[in-house]
Structure formats: structure tokens, C-alpha cells
């Protein structure tokens, strides 16, 4: 930081975006895998 102005800082930007989208993608994939498993089980229950 120089004279009250932040210089650079792209590494913080990439960290924030990377963690956010990484976590959301991981949660989305885990949800989708559980839904697929349950949907298959539901189809088997119905015969």
C-alpha cells in the first residue's frame, strides 16, 4: 500500500474467486452425485 492506495493485489482477487467457485462447485457436484444415487434408488423401488 502506498499513500493510502492499494497497489497490486491480484493474488487476493484470485484467492477469493478460486475459493468461492471451488467450494460452490464441490458442493454442487456432491449434491448432484447424491441426487443421481437417490434417483436410481427411486427407480428401482418403483420397479
User: Please, which residues have CB within 8 angstroms of residue 7's CB and are 6 or more apart in sequence?
Assistant: 1
Residue 17, C-alpha cell as written in the block = 474467486
Residue 19, C-alpha cell as written in the block = 475459493
- Least separation in angstroms between CB 43 and another protein: 10
- Least separation in angstroms between CB 38 and another protein: 5
**Residues engaged in binding another protein (CB under 8 A):** 1, 4-10, 12-13, 15-17, 19-21, 23-24, 27-28, 31-32, 34-35, 38-39, 42
- Least separation in angstroms between CB 33 and another protein: 11
Please give the helix or strand (H or E) that residue 22 lies within, else none: helix 10-46
Amino acid at each position: 500500500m502506498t499513500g493510502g492506495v492499494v497497489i497490486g493485489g491480484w493474488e487476493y482477487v484470485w484467492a477469493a474467486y478460486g475459493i468461492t467457485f471451488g467450494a460452490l462447485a464441490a458442493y454442487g457436484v456432491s449434491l448432484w452425485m447424491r441426487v443421481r444415487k437417490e434417483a436410481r434408488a427411486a427407480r428401482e423401488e418403483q420397479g
